[in-house]
Each structure stands twice: as C-alpha cells, then as structure tokens.
Chain A
Amino acid sequence: MASSNMYRIGDYVYFENSPSNPYSIRRIEELNKTSSGNVEAKVICFYRRRDISNSLLLLADKHAKDMEEDMDEASTDLSENERHQLNHKELYLSRQLDSLPATYIRGKCSVTLLNETEDLKSYLNKSDTFFYSLVYDPAQKTLLADRGEIRVGCKYQAEIPPLINENGYDGKEDESREEMVWNPNNELSKQQVDQFMVISRSVGTFARALDCNSSIRQPALHVSAAAASRDITLFHTLTCLHKNKYNIADAISSLVPKTGPMLCKDEMEDWSPSEANLFEEALEKYGKDFLDIKQDFLPWKTIASIVEYYYMWKTSDRYVQQKKLKAAEAEGKLKQVYIPNYNKPNPNLIKPVNGESNGKACEGCFCTSSFQWYTWGPPNMGCRLCATCWMYWKKYGGLKMPPSSRLERMHNHKIKGTDKELRYRPPNSGVAIVATGGPHRAQRISHKTKQAFFLNATKLTRLARRLCNETFSIRHYSRRPFEAINIAAIKAECQVRLSSSPKVTTKFPQKKWPPLSVVVVRLLTLRPQLTHQSVKKSLSKIKTSVEVATNNNHHLLPSSGSLKRSHHNGIAGQKMGDNGSIYRVSNGPQKKKRCLNSTDASDDMLFVCTDRIRDIRKRIKSSDQRSAARKPTKFLINMPKFAMKPPPTKHINPEPIVIDD
C-alpha cells in the first residue's frame, strides 16, 4: 500500500486534468516543493491516439504494420475487438515537459518501448500497461520512430588492418608505448616496501619542519605527519623504489638529495590560505567556471592545479559546511512523494437512484446494472457509463468495444425494446461549442462521434408536407425533432386533401443531386483538416448508418413506409466503382489497417444558431430559407440587405463548428 502510493522520479503515472476526460499519462522527471508547501511534478507528456490527427495516425499505422512484419504471426493476429483495445494501449512519447500539481496523480502505470519480440496481446491482458514506438512532436505535428541508425559507408567504418601473424607478436620491436612505474615482480617483500614507506613519510615530516611555509601552517607535528602521509607521497615513494630498481639503500639516498629532504606537496597543501580564500570567493562568483576563476582570481595557477585543488577542497571541512547549506536549498527537490489514494467522488458520478438503472444502459457495455454510474459525454445527451467502463474510459481514453460491435449490440438491444431512448440524434442536439477558428480547436468534448444519417423523403412525405397543414406543421416539427408524429393522422389528412384537391401534382421533378465527388470536395474545402482517408471511412459508414436510421428513427419520418436505399449510398457505390481512384488512399496500408476507434472517427459538424442568425432567418423568405437549408454550401442570393442592425458582414457564411470527438 505504502509503496504503491509512493511516487518517484521516473514513475509513469495517470494525471487527472479534468473530471470527465480520460487521464493524461505522464512520466515524472522532477518533484519540486513549492514555497506554498505543495509538490509540483515536472513531467514528460505521452499522447494517446485520440490526441493526434488522422493523417498522423495513418503514418503510425504504417509504422505499426512494418513492425508487425517483424513480429510473430500469433502475436499480430488480432480480432477487431483486440485491435480496438490495443489502440487504447498505444501511446506516443513526446519531448514536451509539463508541470502539474502532484495531487492530480491518480495512480501508476507502465509505459514501455514496444519490442518486436513481444506479444502484442500481452499488453491487452495487463491493465495499466501501455506501449509506444513513436515520438510525437506536438509543435511540428510529426511522428518519428524512437530509433537511431548505424550508418554504413567508408565515412563510418574503420579500415580493418591485415592480420600480420596470427600466432601473436612477431618479435619485431615496436617503439615503446609506455613507461613502467611499478613492477610487482621485485625482490622486495611486502614488509620491506612497508618499511620503506614509513621512512619516506618520516623524511617528509622532517622536510615540513624545515620548510618555512609548512611549519607556519602546520605547527603541530601530527599535522605535518598527516600531510606527509597523503597519497602524493605514497605514490612518489613507490616510484622512487622502482626508479632505484628496488634497491632500498639507493632509494633512501634518493629521498635525501643534496637539496635537502624530499618534500612532496599536492595542491591542497601547496596553496596558501589567501589563495584558498581567493578560490572560495571566485567559486562564489563564477561557480565552477575554472577558466574564469583562473583569469580573474588566480592567474598564476594552471587550470589543472585549480581542478586538482577543487576536488581536494571538496573533502575539507569548509566544503562540508557549504554542502550542508546547499542541501538545505536543495530540499525543494524531492526524490519521492507520498500521495494517498484519491477518494473524492468524481463530479460525473450519478447520485444513486435505488442503485438500479433508470432505463438507460451503459454506453460502453450496455449493461443495465452497476454499483455506480457516471454521466458521460455532453451533459444534455444523458449518456452514462457503468463503473467498469468509466474506469476503462479514464485510463484508456475510449470504450471497450469497437464501434461496429457496439452498433450490433445496440441494434439487438433496440429490437428487444428495452431501450426506449432514441440513440441517434441529429448532431445539433449536442451542446453548443464555441469555435475558435484557426488551428486551435475548440475545447475538446469527450463523447463519441454520433453516426451520421440522413432522411430520404418519399413521395407521400413530400405530398404530406404540402397538403397537411392541419396535422403536420413542418416548421413546428423541424424544431422539435423528438416530438412524436402521428403518422396515421397525417396519412388520413393526406388522403382527404388529395381527393379534395386533385390539382395538386403528384409528380415531383427528379432532384439532380450533385455527384458524391462534388459533395466530398465541398466538404473538404469546408474542412481542410479532413483527410481523404477519413472521408473514405465516413463514406463506407453511410451504408450502416442508413440502415440504423431505418430502424431507429422511424417515428421521425413522416412516412413509416419503405425507406429505400439511400440516394447517396447508391451514388457512392456507383461512383466508387467507376471512379474509385478519386478516393483511393495512396499511402495508407489498407490490409492491416487498425480498426477505427470511435474517438478517431471523422469529426462531426455542428451549427450553432446565434441570435443574429435567428434574426436574419426571420427576414429571409421561406422559399430562400428552404433552398439554403438544402444547399448548405451555397451563399444566399437574396440576403436581406436592409435593416440589419449590425452592418452586414461575411459572418453569415455559416462556419461549421467543429467538435472533436
């Protein structure tokens, strides 16, 4: 318990930045105590798939495919479900540093560089484990492999010399490469060497007594003796023996040359007290910039002697005291921090209503009973997750099941009639998000992308729209999409009206829908960040979504009659067949493409109606309004140019509002 709550530098952790969004995954680089007593963590950021753009995901998938070729087949043979969950386990390392209060930490996890010997499935089975193989640069929006390269070419490799003689050295004497300073194979016993050592140190002590500088600085005999026992004297003693061919008598006489008894001083001993003071002063001023210290404070010393002095000075009492001061300063830097389990309730937690489901199932697993429920997605959607799916969402940033199998489950669910709630709503029922425009996206809203659907009006519907003013007010219902429509009543009225006014033409001109390619191009110009890939993905989804629409939204449609295969879909199928090259993605590996995660799906658009727009609507002729509604990319021709309170500007052009995820 205690150790799992102890967070250290280098730990990978979950951070909670917002109660409803998934955790961020970070690695602790530093733990600093702030002046207010809180602990702040300096962290390295990891990104999830949901955090990076679709075009980069393409690259990432290509890289994954390459890597999978090196992996065992058993490891890469994954079901759609496993792929979906594996996507939640993949991260992208960044070099981005962030600072966060340590109290936002919500637990440990592990992040490892994916190795091709590993079984991908092992990441599925272990919770709180993630892998990465790419480095993401959030500023440049690039992905790079975290792998260096050994270069090949004559500019990099060494030229291999020919073998002269395999049996070893051929006896030809090389020029000497070295100078021997000690040979262990000498005639002296260990004891003899030790004895000579003592003699040498005694000579050194006596030499210090004779040396004016030393005798002033080291008046006490034992201090002199200690000085004469420093390593420099010991090394010199052994070298002296070697030079005298391990002849003790010769060595002794070399200790006492004509110039007086031998005196070996290292920098520590050699420096005067005033030099030592200068050094400390300089250190204070320049830090350990020894070049500057030499130039401005100790020009008569060499860099080498300053460096030697510095490392010896670090063993002195003066340094030890300074170090204690520094240690107090450095107390702000922590090695670890204890963070108790976080047990405040998440604001998304739904207050228990008898502990049972009030009809709504979990968005993730469709279970209807859970000991806790959490609201999930935009508040007015009323979506919720069971406790398990909520944890999954927080840790892995998605829902356990891939969208397709969720769709299936949902479908079954619906047929059973247990879920009265309409699941697919028009996109504009979402919360209004203020678009900031430009590359800075609006604040991320965490809910899944809703399936797109469209309405195909039948002849009867079209007729009813025109005829049945009593039971069917178009304006009324278009504003209240969830209000049930009494189709029987409309049908009845329609029959009556039709027979009473046979003039009404039952022939409608065939609409000339633009080919899909045109629509796509228009959408692309509206949404430049949409990639071809995501467009294609969306296209392939149309089919399923239409079918869903048939089943789920019948009470939206004026006619419960047969909804034919959609116009769009027909065209899409045909066009894709004829002219598929337009949409073909040239660089995306199609075969092994990882399954689309709900959060990775292309973005929806949402139009926010402001007061101004409402105001303008009122001034537009209803026929124009209708035509504008059907051709959203077209400019209004008969824009009311009069009596607009703020002068007319281009803002009328309804800029699509983007919701990410």
Chain B
Amino acid sequence: MALSNPGGSRKVCYYYDSDIGNNYYGQGHPMKPHRIRMTHNLLLNYGLYRKMEIYRPHKCNAEEMSRYHSDDYIKFLRSIRPDNMSEYTKQMQRFNVGEDCPVFDGLYEFCQLSGGGSIAGAVKINKHQTDIAINWAGGLHHAKKSEASGFCYVNDIVLAILELLKYHQRVLYIDIDIHHGDGVEEAFYTTDRVMTVSFHKYGEYFPGTGDLRDIGAGKGKYYALNFPLRDGMDDECYEQIFQPVITKVMEYYQPSAVVLQCGADSLGDRLGCFNLTVKGHAKCLEYVKKFNVPILMLGGGGYTIRNVARCWTYETAVALGQEIPNELPYNDYFEYFGPDFKLHISPSNMSNQNTMEYLQKIRQRLFENLRMLPHAPGVQMQDIPPDAVVSGSDDEAMDDPDKK
C-alpha cells in the first residue's frame, strides 16, 4: 500500500459528470447541484484538474441501489416524474418525497450519478488504485433504506461503504456536515464493521438525531459516535475536538479505509449556524490524511453555493497536497465570488455557544465509550503510523489552561 509519500501529495481520483449541475430541485429550494459544477470549473482554472485522474462515473443501476435500499422505494424513484406525480400521492407520502425532497426533472438520473460516482470511488480504493477518491456529487447522508430525507434520496455513502466492506474488514465513516449523518448511522447501527463518527449541531435542528447517548446497538454498540455541538463552532474549537477524537478512534478502531463526508454547511451557511472557515473545514481532511489510510471524500450539505465551491476546491487541493493562491482564477462563474474574489473566507462575529468546558465534557464522555471497544475487532493489534500520533492527539491539547 505504499503508493504515496506520507504527509505530502497523494494520488487522487476525481469523479464528475457534467450533467450533475443541471439538476434543479425547484424554486426556492436551497439544495443546488450547480455548486458541484462551480467547484469543477474552479478546479479547472486553478490547474488542479490536470493533476488528478478525472473520471466520468457510470450511472449506478437499480440493482446496485437495492444493495441498501428497498426494491419498492427504488422502483418508485425510477417511475416518479413531475408529470405523473398525481398518480403517486400515496407512495410519495410513504417515501417522504414531496416537500424537502421534491420530485424534479431528472431526479433518478441525479441519484444514479451521485451513487455511481461514490461506488466507483470505492471500487477504485478496493483495487488499490488510488489514495484518495473524490465525488462531490455524493455525500447524501440523510437518505434512509426506504425513505428520502433532508434533500437526499439515495444514500450513495452507504452504497460506497457496502462496496468497501467487500475488501475492508473495518471502514470508518467521518461526517463533518453540520447535520447529523443519520442515514449512514442508521444503516450501520448494528454492525462493528463500520464505525460512524458525526460532528453536528444538535438541538432544535434537523434531523433531530445524533444524541451523545446514541452509541449503536447489538454488535454495533459503541460503534456509533456522536458529538453534539451548539451554535457558533469556530475553527479553533473544531480542531480541538476533531483531532483528539479522530486520533482515539483511529487508535482503537484501526480502519483500513475512511469515508469522509465533507458537507460544507458547517461553514457560515445559509442553513447553518456554525462559523468554520474554509481553512478550518479543510483541516479535518488534512488531519485524516495523516493516517495514510485510503480516503473516499464525498460532498454533502452546503447551501451558500459560492462558499461550497470555495471549500471543495480548497479541499481538493489539500487532497492533492497542492498549494493554491488565495486569488480566485477567472472562470465562468467568477461573478459569484464577489466582491472580494478570494478563495478563503473570514469567520463572522457570531458568538460561539460551545464553551471549552462543554466540549471537554462531551469529549470525555466519548472517550469513555471508546474505551469499551475491543481493539480493532476481528484483526490483530498493529501499530498506527507514527506521524498520526504526533500532534494534538493527547488530552492535554484541551486541558492546557494556557491554551485559549
């Protein structure tokens, strides 16, 4: 698996279909697939495009979707169109399609592309043909087995993880979207072969799950980890919880593949209430990269589309280990990035309701749960890469009173 030099550049495979951006959820709907095209055009003009293997994924088919989803739900998604909706009122209710998850022209193809890209990325990782696979059209973490939810219809993440599980004993899922990754957590709630870790706003917020006390069930007990957060999370606080938690998870769980959902609504966002910057968001990826485990990077939420494009462009650069200038290059959508036309964004002056005390207590509770894990179920102990343990992995990082 020595494909790469640690810490620096990695081989990256990038999945994109130019049709994705032309999907439109409907008037006033905050989910805009167009943001994926904006990201793509920025990548091209930053010159990052030329540094990756670029793939157009094949559409995944109904059989592949049914590896997780129920047959009748997929059959419904295949048949429903804006012009025949009236014949499906009952099923629309049953499958929660209509309001948050509207029926739009090309819905099924959209799901096929999103799922196809994530599965293709997983296969690529299975084949040891890449260090990192990226599908910004994926990351639709709310979709359930027989139910659409939170702008998500087909859970491409679950499909990709199922693919990874064919060749990986343990897969770690990390979710830094502002919303709880409920769909993925639910799908793997009772297994120890997937550990789900989600950092999210909790309380009076969609989807309502993600309590600290939700830790998995049956064989999966202690293999779901939820970090509930309050409004105003900033870069510094995020780093101080993300790094120690991920370090401990890596140490205890020792996954052979990581799926990272990079929902960009945890930046200052139209629907969000966190205060991360592009740099703070990307630090999570930087940190996960250090462990030298193949990563499948997926999109997710993100409703201030210019910031989503900024974030995912920068994260693609981080994946590649490339530095890119703050000055945005000219591109078809340049005007969207005014008035400053810069890559990085500044945090807002919103107050952070997460006190150090609160974060530390939650972290402590999660560590207690992690201690319940047997070391790396199913496989013998094995040392974690040395560079993973170096920084910020100790409790002291947060307990240090001198640190603000």
- CB pair B207–A116 under 8 Å, yes or no, is no
CB under 8 Å from chain B, chain A span 91-122? 93, 110, 112-113, 115-118, 122
Structural contact, A303 and B105, CB atoms closer than 8 A: yes
Residue B145 interfacial (CB < 8 Å): yes
Instruction: For the complex, give the distance between the alpha carbons of A182 and B40 in Å.
Output: 13
Known: A150-B189, A152-B217, A235-B44. A178 touches B21 (CB 8 A): no
Q: How far apart are A572's CB and chain B's nearest CB, in angstroms?
A: 42
B130-169 to A contact mask, C-beta < 8 Å, 1/0? 0000000000000011100000000000100010011111
**Contact yes or no, B191 A157, CB < 8 A:** yes
Whether a CB of chain B sits under 8 angstroms from the CB of A284 is: no
Q: Give the segment of A309-317, A441-449, A479-487, A601-609 that binds chain B.
A: A309-317
- Distance (Å) between the CB of A1 and the closest chain B CB? 15
Known: A70-B213, A150-B182, A238-B49. A115 touches B358 (CB 8 A): yes
Q: Is the CB of B167 within 8 A of A169?
A: yes
Q: Are B362 and A288 closer than 8 Å at their CB atoms?
A: no
Q: Are B105 and A291 in contact (CB under 8 A)?
A: yes
Q: Which residue of A lies closest to B54 (CB)?
A: A182
Chain B interfacial residues counted at CB < 8 A: 94
A375 to chain B, nearest CB (A): 36
Residues from chain A with a CB closer than 8 A to the CB of B362 are 115, 117
Residue B237, interface by CB 8 Å: no
Q: Which of B50, B55, B58, B357 contacts A238 (CB 8 A)?
A: B50
Does A8 sit at the interface, judged by CB under 8 A?
yes
Pair A181/B189 contact, Cβ less than 8 Å? no
Partner of A157, one of B116, B123, B186: B186
Q: Say yes or no: A146 contacts B218, CB within 8 Å.
A: no
B57 within 8 A of A: yes
Query: Within 8 Å of chain B (Cβ to Cβ): is A266?
Result: yes
For B146, what are the chain A residues with a Cβ–Cβ distance below 8 Å? 155
Inter-subunit contact B353/A110 (CB<8 Å): yes
Q: Is B240 an interface residue (CB 8 A)?
A: no
- B68 interfacial contact with A, CB 8 Å: yes
Inter-subunit contact A307/B22 (CB<8 Å): yes
Query: Can you list 27 A-B contacts with CB-CB less than 8 angstroms, sorted by A residue number?
Result: A10-B350, A115-B361, A117-B358, A117-B362, A122-B357, A146-B204, A150-B224, A158-B187, A160-B165, A161-B162, A163-B169, A166-B256, A168-B167, A169-B128, A177-B57, A177-B119, A177-B123, A178-B57, A184-B51, A231-B44, A287-B27, A288-B24, A289-B27, A291-B82, A305-B22, A307-B24, A311-B21
Contact between chains at B166 and A161 (CB < 8 Å): yes
State the majority secondary structure of interface residues on A. loop
Contact residues in A for B187 (Cβ distance below 8 Å): 156-158
| B212–A158 touching, CB < 8 Å | no
The answer on a CB contact under 8 Å between B211 and A147 is yes
The residue in chain A whose Cβ has the minimal distance to the Cβ of B59 is: A177
Confirm or deny: B345 has a beta carbon within 8 angstroms of a beta carbon on chain A.
no
Cβ of A611 within 8 Å of any chain B Cβ, yes or no, is: no
Closest CB of chain B to A109's CB: distance in Å? 12
- Does B335 contact A315, Cβ atoms closer than 8 Å? yes
Identify A303's interface contact among B106, B165, B169, B349, CB under 8 A.
B106
CB nearest neighbor in B for A93: B204
Question: What B residues does A113 contact at CB under 8 A?
Answer: 202-204, 228, 230
Closest 6 A-B residue pairs measured CB to CB?
A: A113-B203, A148-B208, A148-B209, A182-B54, A304-B22, A315-B335
Residues of B within 8 A of A (CB): 15, 18-19, 21-24, 26-28, 34, 37, 41, 44-45, 49-58, 67-68, 70, 82, 105-106, 116, 119-120, 123-124, 126-128, 144-146, 158, 162, 165-169, 182, 185-191, 193-194, 202-204, 207-214, 217-218, 224, 228, 230-231, 256, 273, 331-336, 349-350, 353, 357-358, 361-362, 364-365, 379
Distance of A164 Cα from B166 Cα, bound (Å): 5
Provide the main secondary structure of the chain B interface: loop
Q: How far is the CA of A305 from the CA of B18 in the complex (A)?
A: 12
Q: Does A230 interact with chain B (Cβ within 8 Å)?
A: yes
- A231 / chain B contacts, CB cutoff of 8 Å: 41, 44-45, 331-332
Contacts of A179 in B (CB 8 A): 55-56, 58
Decide: A156 and B44 in contact? CB cutoff 8 A: no
Partner among B21, B27, B45, B50 whose Cβ is within 8 Å of the Cβ of A184: B50
Neighbouring A residues of B228 by C-beta, 8 Å: 113, 115
Kindly report which residue of chain A lies nearest to residue B51, judged by CB atoms.
A184
Q: What separation, in Å, do the CA atoms of A165 and B82 have in the docked complex?
A: 44
* Chain A residue with Cβ nearest B145: A156
Beyond known contacts A155-B70, A183-B53: 10 more, CB 8 A cutoff: A70-B213, A117-B364, A157-B188, A161-B162, A177-B119, A193-B50, A232-B332, A266-B332, A288-B27, A312-B333
- A317 CB to nearest B CB, Å: 9
Q: Which residues of A contact B23 (CB under 8 A)?
A: 304, 307
Residues of B within 8 A of A168 (CB): 126-128, 167
A630 to B192, CA, bound (A): 73
Contact B186 A118 (CB under 8 A): no
Instruction: Give Cα A315–Cα B337 distance, bound, in whole angstroms.
Output: 10
How many chain-A residues does the 8 Å CB contact rule pick out?
70
Please, which residues of chain B bring their CB within 8 A of the CB of A221? Answer: none
Residue A146 contacts which of B54, B167, B208 (CB distance < 8 angstroms)? B208
Contacts of A235 in B (CB 8 A): 18, 44
Q: How distant is A330 from chain B, measured CB to nearest CB, in Å?
A: 14
A169 to B50, CA, bound (A): 27
Least CB distance, B202 to chain A, in whole angstroms = 7
Which A residues are CB-close (under 8 A) to B213? 70, 116
By beta carbon, the residue of chain A nearest B194 is A160
A304 surroundings in chain B (CB, below 8 A): 19, 22-23, 106
Chain A residues closer than 8 Å to B364, beta-carbon distance: 117
Chain B residues lying within 8 Å of A303, measured Cβ to Cβ, are: 22, 24, 105-106
Q: Given A177-B120, A230-B332, A231-B41, does the pair A161, B49 have CB atoms closer than 8 Å?
A: no
- List the A residue with the shortest CB-CB distance to B35: A311
CA distance A341 to B166 in the complex (A): 64
Q: Is A174 an interface residue, CB under 8 A from the partner?
A: yes
Residue of B nearest to A27 (CB): B204
Contact B182 A176 (CB under 8 A): no
Contact B332 A315, beta carbon cutoff 8 Å: yes
Check A151 against B186 for contact (C-beta < 8 Å). yes
With A303-B106, A315-B335: A149-B145 Cβ-Cβ less than 8 Å: no
Q: Does A474 contact B (CB under 8 A)?
A: no
> Is A290 close to B, CB under 8 A?
yes
Q: Which residue of B lies closest to A183 (CB)?
A: B53
Contacting residue for A308 out of B21, B128, B167, CB 8 A: B21
The yes or no answer to A234 lying at the interface (CB within 8 A) is: yes
Q: Assess whether B203 is in contact with A146, with CB atoms less than 8 Å apart.
A: yes
- A149-B209, A315-B335 known; A158+B68 contact, CB < 8 A: yes
Best-buried of A117, A177, A234, A290 by chain B (most CB within 10 Å): A177
Contact A320 B54, CB 8 Å, known A70-B213, A163-B166, A168-B167: no
Report A138-150 CB contacts with B as 1/0, cut-off 8 Å: 0000000011111
Contacts of A183 in B (CB 8 A): 53
On chain A, the residues within 8 Å of B210 by CB distance are 148
Closest-by-CB residue of A relative to B207 is: A148
Residue of B nearest to A175 (CB): B58
Asked if A180 is at the interface (CB within 8 A of a chain B CB), the reply is yes
Known: A10-B350, A311-B34. A158 touches B21 (CB 8 A): no
**A contact residues around B186 at 8 Å (CB):** 150-151, 156-157
Q: Are B162 and A174 in contact (CB under 8 A)?
A: no
Tell whether, in the assembled complex, residue B28 and residue A150 are in contact, meaning their CB atoms are under 8 Å apart. Answer: no
